[in-house]
Chains A and B, each alone.
Chain A
Amino acid sequence: MLGLTTRFSFLALCVLQIDEEVAKLLELKAQLGGDDGKHQFVLKTAKGTRDYNPRQMAIREKVFNTIIGCFKRHGAETIDTPVFELKETLTGKYGEDSKLIYDLKDQGGELLSLRYDLTVPFARYLAMNKITNIKRYHIAKVYRRDNPAMTRGRYREFYQCDFDIAGQYDAMIPDAECLKIVHEILSELELGDFCIKVNDRRILDGMFAVCGVPIDKFRTICSTVDKLDKMAWADVKKEMVNEKGLSEEVADQIGEYVSMQGGMDLAERLLQDQKLSQSKQACAGLSDIKLLFSYLQLLQVTDKASAEKVRTTEVQVMVVSAQKNLLQERLKLVSDLWNGGVKAEMMYKKNPKLLSQLQHCEEAGIPLVAILGEQELKDGVVKLRVVSTREEFDICRADLLAEIRRRTSEA
């Protein structure tokens, strides 16, 4: 039956036949029903979600350490919130995207939904605790029922990493620090060259106003302008005129402004711009951009991978036996190393082969091997082997811990 189903899979004529055979299959499965003691296992994760294997976790940890290190360097605290909120907390906050929220089943209690971002929970946290000032970061997973067919490869469970400064302060100083943080993080992560674009909502609105965009169209024209990073101006203009109802003249005026890029000099020039300077909003925004750039200069941000083996464990020393019947000595030595704070491991075999143990070191990237052998034990030494160079040194048992610490701190 299954053979038929796959062979005819592309002929429309056989769709009916496929359905019939699938129905038979489902019926057979249903006959199993209930808990028959043999627990069937569906070996997949939910659509749009994935496990992180140890290699991915090692990479993830490095990235988090860099980012969190930066947040902490700037004096930020962190909080954590539950993975689900009361449905009412999230209702009405995400506009059209609300349909992407995961709801929990009504099981007779409160109605709940999985968090969609970290910003609404942050706002709830501030209000709930009557907090007026806080500098906080929050790294956690959020949930969106995107349709993967339409947004290729998009996950439904994914990390967000937010940093926010809440509170009444003097203009642009915290804003400048946020940009300094982005700059530090992207530099430290060594992702390559990057560029941070800056603008101001008041400048955008002022610009729309002086170009003749009706106020009720500001938001929708704004999302069209936003597409300039993906579409050419010609297409963006087309959307403004054909879909959003702007005249060509108004669109052209917008086009002149949105092609401008620069630094503090551009802000100064625009403050002199005949048209734009008529908008109070735009002027406020432009003054603040100037102020921001002056701070960015002081913070030194106005300017902009080797195939290292990714290890999944941090073991520094593997304790191995060169001959049989040395399990006791291995256990004693590994225990001494653990007690001394050294990251160590050994094979769970009473009499493992030396070659297998050394192979494990190479595969796992363990840098040192402490080899116990009968002769060495009589002489009171342990053979310490450096995996990368294959050099070996006989170290007096009493000095071993110090020697290992020395070598691992230099690494």
Chain B
Amino acid sequence: MEDKAQIHEAIKVQGELVRKLKSEKANKEQIDEEVAKLLELKAQLGGDDGKHQFVLKTAKGTRDYNPRQMAIREKVFNTIIGCFKRHGAETIDTPVFELKETLTGKYGEDSKLIYDLKDQGGELLSLRYDLTVPFARYLAMNKITNIKRYHIAKVYRRDNPAMTRGRYREFYQCDFDIAGQYDAMIPDAECLKIVHEILSELELGDFCIKVNDRRILDGMFAVCGVPIDKFRTICSTVDKLDKMAWADVKKEMVNEKGLSEEVADQIGEYVSMQGGMDLAERLLQDQKLSQSKQACAGLSDIKLLFSYLQLLQVTDKVVFDLSLARGLDYYTGVIYEAVLTQTGVGLGSTEAQQEAHAEDSVSVGSVAGGGRYDGLVGMFDPKGRKVPCVGVSIGIERIFSIMEQKAEASAEKVRTTEVQVMVVSAQKNLLQERLKLVSDLWNGGVKAEMMYKKNPKLLSQLQHCEEAGIPLVAILGEQELKDGVVKLRVVSTREEFDICRADLLAEIRRRTSEA
């Protein structure tokens, strides 16, 4: 016993030492040495000592969802899935872990954030990091060339919570993608229509969908004089414009990324532009930009996109914004990001985490993001068969967070059950009648419950109704039973009606359908 306590203490001290060395970015050999000592100490504990301790915490970066949160989550999912279904999407599901090799080499620097499973003698496995790579694997595995699919599931990233405040390591992603060779911009327009519908139905307040195109960005960098090998890195700097002022972004371009001030200024002129179809037309006439074939192709597609968006009635919230960059490497065409424009919407911790399509940095207030990525699936197909894709990822954790805050702030109670009728006894010895009545109600499809007590007090039963938000009470009483009626009470108004037992089911259905 004493030994174990000593070891626990030693582990604690050693753990602190390791954390300290890591945060100080000490010498790698030294860190490895101390980590080895720590692992050795942990190994000494080993085995099952028979005393079943219950550690009352969830793993770091993960959390339970309580019934209230689940009720909110269900409403949000129903709205989102309803929209996907309205647009004819199918859904798939994939395993929570993939073969390690499937995920290797797909996430660049972020690969260190992947959770690996222990080598227990079989295949090497890792928890999925996003839903896009599994999607690409699914398409290649099943030789699918066309699909419109949504996928809502949790993904896993070993982020360091110290550095990214409140970030979760297990969180939901909600992806919608259209894969297949189609006529230009029609599926891209539908994706934006879907984002518009979802954000409108969720009633999160005012929002704006920014649109740009990877080819316009690259064309712009080219005509401004950015060297080709700096395109991606300058792109991620431009991406910071949603968080930093132009002056600071320009400073980074010049001081850290090695651009001349003149080139940076030229970029600055373009990235300050916002507009609609008119801006695309103007830029097609722009002396400098029109020299880039790439940029012209992007601009024409933006024009086409806006014409479709007009017909789909969503141009009110869409803006062509040249500062939208989205760090992801694999976008090849249109890119977009939706942001909430309301101020005062609490920026809690998880918002910063909202990922859109696979990995990229997300601006404060972003609730959805995506774009076209024509080359990704082809990378995964053994024959290199190209499957063009366009899609969007809804920032569902951010939305949960906002809805939870709204629910807390509002007076409206969030119900965690859907019970419509509580069956209660007014006197003792009426358990049998309660069981019979509740059974009839269940058989009739009514959501009902009763207390698990033979002789509960009327007051306790009514109190439960108030707390749980149950709208109706069916009260059984001795006199009423003799008269062949049941007293139906409306909780909100406290009115009571004697209903003939035979008519009770119909009466309850009537009242609950009007609700």
Contact = CB atoms under 8 A, between A and B. Distances in A.
Interface of A: 35, 39-47, 49-54, 57-58, 72-86, 88-89, 91-93, 98, 102-112, 114, 123-125, 127-129, 136, 141, 143, 145, 157, 165, 167, 169-170, 173-174, 176-177, 180, 184, 295, 298-300, 312-315, 327-328, 331-332, 334-335, 338-339, 341-345, 348-350, 364
Contact of B86 (A54, A107, A123, A344): A344
Contacts of B247: none
B513 interface: no
B243 interface: no
22 contacts: A43-B141, A44-B141, A58-B90, A72-B417, A72-B418, A75-B418, A77-B417, A79-B64, A83-B127, A85-B58, A86-B58, A104-B117, A105-B116, A105-B117, A107-B158, A129-B66, A170-B454, A173-B453, A298-B432, A298-B435, A313-B89, A334-B312
A335 B311 contact: yes
Contacts of A109: 60, 158
A328 to B, nearest CB: 6
Interface string B137-171: 11011100000010000101010000000000010
B70 A80 contact: yes
A54 B149 contact: yes
Interface residues of B, number: 101
Contacts of A299: 435, 438-439
A350 B193 contact: no
A334 B308 CA distance: 12
B52 A93 contact: yes
Contacts of A136: 67
A106 B85 CA distance: 41
A54 B58 contact: no
Contact of B452 (A43, A81, A170, A343): A170
Given A35-B105, A105-B117, A52 B92 contact: yes
User: Which one of B127, B416, B436 has the greatest number of beta carbons of chain A within 10 Å?
Assistant: B416
A80 B154 CA distance: 12
Contact of B442 (A145, A170, A180): A180
B16 interface: no
Contacts of B50: 92
A51 B158 contact: no
Given A45-B95, A57-B91, A341 B86 contact: yes
A346 B449 CA distance: 45
Interface stretch (B181-189, B204-212, B321-329): B181-189
Contacts of B454: 170, 173
A106 B453 CA distance: 49
B380 A57 contact: no
Interface in B280-322: 308, 311-313
Contacts of B62: 82, 84
Interface in B96-112: 96-99, 101-102, 105-106
B448 interface: yes
Given A39-B106, A77-B71, 4 more contacts: A49-B95, A51-B95, A82-B63, A169-B453
B325 to A, nearest CB: 24
B500 interface: no
Contacts of B85: 313-314, 343
Given A43-B382, A54-B91, A180 B417 contact: no
Given A39-B379, A49-B97, A344-B86, A78 B67 contact: yes
Given A76-B417, A125-B64, A104 B115 contact: yes
A314 B416 CA distance: 28
Contacts of A40: 101
B59 A86 contact: yes
B452 A169 contact: yes
B448 A83 contact: no
Given A73-B447, A75-B419, A51 B138 contact: yes
A174 B449 CA distance: 11
B63 A295 contact: no
Interface string B34-65: 01000100100000101011111111101111
A399 B438 CA distance: 44
B344 interface: no
B94 interface: yes
A338 B513 CA distance: 25
B90 to A, nearest CB: 4
Contacts of A105: 115-119
Interface in B439-472: 439, 442-443, 445-449, 452-454, 468
B311 A331 contact: yes
B116 A107 contact: yes
A104 B126 CA distance: 9
A403 B154 CA distance: 40
A343 B448 contact: no
Nearest to A331: B311
Given A83-B154, A338-B87, A332 B64 contact: no
A150 B439 CA distance: 44
Nearest to A130: B56
B317 to A, nearest CB: 14
B92 A41 contact: no
B56 A128 contact: yes
Given A41-B380, A46-B97, A75-B417, A338 B116 contact: no
B182 A349 contact: yes
A127 B54 contact: yes
B262 interface: no
A81 B64 contact: yes
Given A39-B380, A75-B447, A300-B439, A89 B55 contact: yes
Nearest to B56: A128
Contacts of A107: 115-116, 158
A295 B90 contact: no
A150 B447 CA distance: 44
Nearest to B377: A41
A141 to B, nearest CB: 7
A313 B313 CA distance: 24
Given A57-B93, A78-B67, A331-B308, A73 B445 contact: yes
Contacts of B140: 41, 43
Interface string B174-211: 00001010110011011001000100000000000000
